[in-house]
Amino acid sequence: MVRYEIHLNRAGEYWWQLVAANNQIVCWSEGYVTKQAAIDSINWVKRWGSSVPIQDLT
């Protein structure tokens, strides 16, 4: 099951990570002051992430 997990760090910031079905962490976010801001960030990725172009800078 692919899932987003919300965590609280020692600085009191909320952050999320995307976990693949094999339990590997795919990516993680920056810290947010509120849990709602972290949730809003997840929802942005879910809505717009598939349409964002890949820019190869190698």
Within a domain: residue 43?
Answer: yes
* Mean per-residue pLDDT, 38-53: 94
Domain that holds residue 30: 3-48
Within a domain: residue 18?
Answer: yes
* CATH number for 18: 3.30.160.160
- How confident is residue 42, by pLDDT bands cut at 50, 70 and 90? very high
Q: pLDDT per residue over 2-35, tens digit each?
A: 999 999 999 999 999 999 999 999 999 999 999 9
Within a domain: residue 57?
Answer: no
Within a domain: residue 55?
Answer: no
Within a domain: residue 54?
Answer: no
- The first and second tokens of residue 21, run together, are 């079905």
* Mean per-residue pLDDT, 44-48: 94
| pTM of the complete model | 0.87
Within a domain: residue 53?
Answer: no
Within a domain: residue 22?
Answer: yes
How many other CB atoms are found less than 10 A from the CB of residue 27? 11
- For residue 50, pLDDT beyond 90: no
Number of domains making up the chain: 1
